[in-house]
Structure 1
Amino acid sequence: MHITAHELRTRYLAFFASKGHAVIPSASLVPANDPTVLFTTAGMHPLVPYLLGEPHPAGARLTDVQKCVRTGDIDAIGDATHLTFFEMLGNWSLGDYGRDEAIAWSFEFLVDHLGVPPDRLGVTCFAGDADVPEDTASQRSWRALGVERIARLGRDDNWWGPAGDTGPCGPDTEIFTWIGDEPPRGFEPGDRRWVEIWNNVFMEYERTASGQIVPLPRRSVDTGMGVERTLVALNGLASVYEVDTMQPIIDELRAPGLGERELRIVSDHVRAACAMIADGVLPSNKDRGHVLRRLLRRAMVHARRLPPDWYRRAVTRVAAALGDVYPELARPAIADVIATEVTRFEVALARSLRELERRPVLDGKVAFDLFQTHGIPLEIAREMAEATGARIDEAGFRDELARHRDRSRTQAGTFAGGLADHSVEIVRYHTLTHLLQAALRAVLGDHVLQRGSNLTRDRLRFDFSHGGKLSPGELARVEQLVNGWLARDLVVERATMSPADARGLGAIGAFGEKYGDTVSVYTIRDGDTVISREFCGGPHVAGSRDLAGSFRIVREEPVAAGVRRIKAVLDPVRT
């Protein structure tokens, strides 16, 4: 039996709806509730506040299909299993049902609704360690269903979280299906013919600031099933590039002289780029925009043998393959954004060629700059050097690359925090972003909308739509407005309602965000005057009395065309 991506999504959501789950829409690839990551990398990221205790407006049982982006395995793109953009099916219990129901429903869906033979299933469970005992309960649940292939693995394989330094975490059980001819009697998860298709995480513990693992008062379930990998297993395919949401792009771009791996890289990267641009990310030299630029330029390098209109044809195929579930992919501006980046890259290549022509040897630092700043990989720089008779210091390049990776790891540690750790400081800065947006809209106009944020315990960073640099006077007025509100007795209120009712009350939301039938709205009031009203999952402080301090803008700068960024702090009150 062959099953399409549309059929898999439809069956999954219908199944869990029949079990009392509310079907919620996919969130944006730009995280609204987990500023510790650049992109939404899993179905749970948009639900972090609710997994930490905030009530979800749709209830305690949720299910969805979430679009995700992961770039950590970019060097593996083109093999049989890795994609940059992918879809994740998930179901959640927010303090409602536990592992017995989650495991039973996973088994029921796979066997009764997808037709997976029970004798082709194997599972892994947490083996326990010094902090947490072995997960024997999951093993009992699986055996009660007749599943006997159970491997007990450690924390590296069967433990999730926390997302930051602190927060909810717990054991998980991973479900594998055999894709070979005759399934073996035993179960060795390392055998590539056992393909993992589903993971059930039981958030039963919390890691505290002191590093202790303690039981959570409210336990939750978080599951994830990768759409593409599941289709590979169910349909007996050789790779994720053969699923019906990837194959049309591959077929459109296939051309003489373009190797299979190059073809896969180009198809993968342009698909991911379309999804990012559709959610408001634009090429730049910072953060998400930098990731997008690197993906596009890597695709351009491998697409050099394709006709000039390759990306427009690819964009059309992406929209046709995924537009039914993600209509934002049909936006005409996507191809135009890529076209502009193609032109920029051609200029960068010409500049690089001039650099090579005037140097007999290209030292490692300059070669790395071509790679890091302009997206020109070493192998292309090598080809260009050979054409001009120059030579590249490849050992120096590798040294620079290693130093850059070390710096990146160090800097990544400085961004620990975000709503994932639910600290008092993070919640305060989250509320301040609402006041900042209200002030920006009052000073600059209603065209201002949030385009991203990042919070640490020490500062907020807020990206917003605006066409030009703010003047010193405009920045001063924004600061004055926020500090004036902080001096008042503001109250923060939460309510749930339909999106239409929320918009009717003037609530605003994040760019590209989709909303379900019921939404959470936070209103900040000064008596009867509404200062801010936004679609938001929270959490927030109760009022301005919890925001004692002086709001100060540290920096205002461009991020991408039409997007500005403000970094700000809340200085303590001087006594």
Structure 2
Amino acid sequence: MITPDQLRTKYLDFFKSKDHAVISGKSLLPENDPTVLFTTAGMHPLVPYLLGESHPAGKRLVDYQKCVRTGDIDEVGDPAHLTCFEMLGNWSLGDYFKKDSIAYSWEFLTSGDWLALDPRKLSVTVFMGDDNAPRDDESATHWKSVGMPDDRIAYLPASDNWWAAGPTGPCGPDTEIFYWVGDGLPPAGSNKGTDPANWMEIWNNVFMQFNRVDERTLVKLPAQNVDTGMGLERTVTVLNGKTSVYQTEIFQPIIAAIEHVSGYAYGTDPAKDASVRIIADHVRASTFIIGDPKGVSPSNVGAGYVVRRLIRRAVRHGKKLGIEGSFLAGPAMIVIERFGGAYPELVENRARVLKELEREEAKFLETLQKGEHEFEKMLPNLLRNPQKIMSGRLAFKLYDTYGFPIELTDELASENGMKVNRPEFDEAFKKHQELSRAGAEQTFKGGLADQSEQTTKYHTATHLLQKALRMVLGDHVAQKGSNITVERMRFDFAHPAPMTADEVARVQAIVNEQIARDLPVTMEMMGLEDAKASGATALFGEKYESVVKVYTIGDFSKEVCGGPHVERTGLLGKFVIQKEQSSSAGVRRIRAVLE
């Protein structure tokens, strides 16, 4: 048996033995990237370095990173899907490439000194080539050289084995590693291509080999990078001979807490088992998100909406198990205890996690009772509809009158053999109010952080704003988060009360004064402790490397930051604060534009 903590340690130790520097995992909430709500992969925080920027820790890196993906929330409940997961990752930034990457993967997986997996139960996929890019025979050759049989290598299309940052830019083939989860040993000729149901992906090596200039033109990158990701939960599953991650010690203690409060014995009823898995996953994900250094509170927009949806779905499935009243704090405490060693911020933010869970749970229990009661009253008439379609108008009534989420109306309808007319609901919703759905719809597109000229200007403006706020309001002001698009900036900061009109005007005037001074913006690499000693401001709760970038704006501002920034403040234009409002308890929010 191998525990998650042991796997993390082995992974880091192995790559340290291969001269990789261990770097810290980052926040679940990406900084200055409006294209995604959460860190969705281990490579996400490293995008600037994969695109050519030098990393202060060197060219060989290894870490573990918490991630959240929200596209499959409705699929959670089966034995496989997860909302929150961990990625173990190693990177080569212009150093080693396919040969060494594949050799390292094989050694770590099969060596008796490390994971000691049976090599007969491993198979791989490589890119088969197409009209736009050549077949990846190089990777296949390296796999054969370490001992992978020909019949365990599957050549698959770009949809399976090609990575790209976007329509243009860095791209290249990847090779995925699978473990046999069928009975006994895999038969001859079995691989992911011929027998996909019995092979579970555990690791992916992405080779950033080309730059796509246009649809038909690929140019080799001068510095070729390797980005690998191993799913911790899946690997723990196969290492312990299990068929589902929910059978491992990652989830078994959480499930035991749910069994205790519900009185239900997991494994006795398939439908109730699914509810247990939903609660376990959603409590774990919510605990990680709220407990993040940039912690999110449940709300109706963005990441806060995702947390609210996770909590409310867990509560509803708790009621399906017969649980009355609040109960999420118990499983959440298990999550904090089990993962607090690897993620100490969970322990540090324990009080906040429990408070937010209990508050949202109590609020929703009242909503749930009213909404479900109203749905039950509607049900007889709904079932008379031969098309088994619930009108969007009725679904919107539940939302508008009782605050009942459309996702739960969808679930209730599905459980009764019906579908909701979502276009009709969306139309009613749009007419009634223009709530921001960016968090739930638009921002799940994924992709790289926007580092255009305009967003770079806004990034520099956040530094000026934070210093101006500290000058006007006091040194207790600390950045709690930011969101930047090409059109505006949003800045969250710690402050206990609304700003007065005079305070807002003074802050705006100070920022514009520094812009008018056309101050130079410079960067230097410093040891973290030296940076703090020099007076540089750092983001509270953020994990930094031992060597960091420090951006200095003339004699006005000095911050630890990853960049990028403009060269002089005179490039920013006029800074205008459009709104100052509450973000959450003790946190204020400023929205501003550059004109």
- TM-score when normalising by structure 1: 0.88
In structure 2, distance between residues paired with 1:222 and 1:454: 26
Superposed CA deviations along residues 289-315 of structure 1, whole A, max 9, x for unmatched, are 111011001111111222545212112
- Counterpart of 1:185? 188
Q: Output aligned runs, 1:125-524, within 5 Å.
A: 125-147=126-148, 148=150, 149-162=152-165, 166-180=168-182, 181-186=184-189, 187-189=191-193, 191-208=196-213, 213-254=218-259, 255-257=262-264, 259-279=272-292, 280-304=295-319, 305-306=322-323, 308=325, 310-330=327-347, 331-349=350-368, 352=371, 364-368=392-396, 370=398, 373-375=403-405, 377-378=408-409, 395-396=420-421, 399-400=424-425, 420-524=449-553
Amino acid at match of 2:221: L
Cα shift at 1:411: 9.3
> Residues 21 and 58 of structure 2 are in contact (CA less than 8 Å); yes or no, is this contact kept in structure 1?
yes
Amino acid at match of 1:562: G
In structure 2, distance between residues paired with 1:110 and 1:563: 46
**Inter-CA distance 228–354: structure 2 relative to 1 (3 Å threshold):** closer
Superposed CA deviations along residues 8-41 of structure 1, whole A, max 9, x for unmatched, are 1000000001111111111111112533211111
In structure 2, distance between residues paired with 1:210 and 1:470: 51
Superposed CA deviations along residues 76-113 of structure 1, whole A, max 9, x for unmatched, are 11212211111100001112211111111011101111
| Stretch deviating more after TM superposition (215-224 or 259-268) | 215-224
In structure 2, distance between residues paired with 1:369 and 1:440: 43
Cα shift at 1:339: 0.8
- Counterpart of 1:100? 99
Superposed CA deviations along residues 355-376 of structure 1, whole A, max 9, x for unmatched, are 6699888952352464695437
Gaps of 5+ in 2: 267-271, 383-389, 431-435
Amino acid at match of 2:569: S
Aligned residue pairs total: 557
> Residues 179 and 193 of structure 1 are in contact (CA less than 8 Å); yes or no, is this contact kept in structure 2?
yes
In structure 1, distance between residues paired with 2:446 and 2:146: 40
Cα shift at 1:157: 0.8
> Residues 492 and 590 of structure 2 are in contact (CA less than 8 Å); yes or no, is this contact kept in structure 1?
yes
Amino acid at match of 2:575: F
Superposed CA deviations along residues 436-455 of structure 1, whole A, max 9, x for unmatched, are 22222222333332233232
Cα shift at 1:210: 8.1
**Inter-CA distance 550–375: structure 2 relative to 1 (3 Å threshold):** same
SS of the residue aligned with 1:512? coil
- Counterpart of 1:539? 564
> Residues 301 and 439 of structure 2 are in contact (CA less than 8 Å); yes or no, is this contact kept in structure 1?
no
Amino acid at match of 2:239: L
> Residues 419 and 427 of structure 1 are in contact (CA less than 8 Å); yes or no, is this contact kept in structure 2?
no
Amino acid at match of 1:286: V
| Stretch deviating more after TM superposition (73-82 or 189-198) | 189-198
Instruction: Tell me how large the CA RMSD over aligned residues is.
Output: 3.1
| Stretch deviating more after TM superposition (357-366 or 194-203) | 357-366
Cα shift at 1:483: 1.5
Amino acid at match of 1:481: I
In structure 2, distance between residues paired with 1:182 and 1:357: 51
**Inter-CA distance 73–381: structure 2 relative to 1 (3 Å threshold):** closer
> Residues 326 and 362 of structure 2 are in contact (CA less than 8 Å); yes or no, is this contact kept in structure 1?
no
In structure 1, distance between residues paired with 2:438 and 2:216: 21
- Counterpart of 2:589? 565
**Inter-CA distance 469–170: structure 2 relative to 1 (3 Å threshold):** farther
Cα shift at 1:287: 0.5
SS of the residue aligned with 2:421? helix
Cα shift at 1:269: 0.5
> Residues 123 and 153 of structure 2 are in contact (CA less than 8 Å); yes or no, is this contact kept in structure 1?
yes
Superposed CA deviations along residues 325-350 of structure 1, whole A, max 9, x for unmatched, are 11222222211111111121133235
In structure 2, distance between residues paired with 1:74 and 1:479: 41
In structure 1, distance between residues paired with 2:257 and 2:55: 42
> Residues 28 and 512 of structure 1 are in contact (CA less than 8 Å); yes or no, is this contact kept in structure 2?
no
Cα shift at 1:232: 1.2
In structure 1, distance between residues paired with 2:97 and 2:427: 44
Cα shift at 1:213: 4.4
SS of the residue aligned with 1:222? strand
Q: Output aligned runs, 1:13-162, within 5 Å.
A: 13-32=12-31, 34-112=33-111, 113-147=114-148, 148=150, 149-162=152-165
Gaps of 5+ in 1: 387-391
**Inter-CA distance 226–414: structure 2 relative to 1 (3 Å threshold):** closer
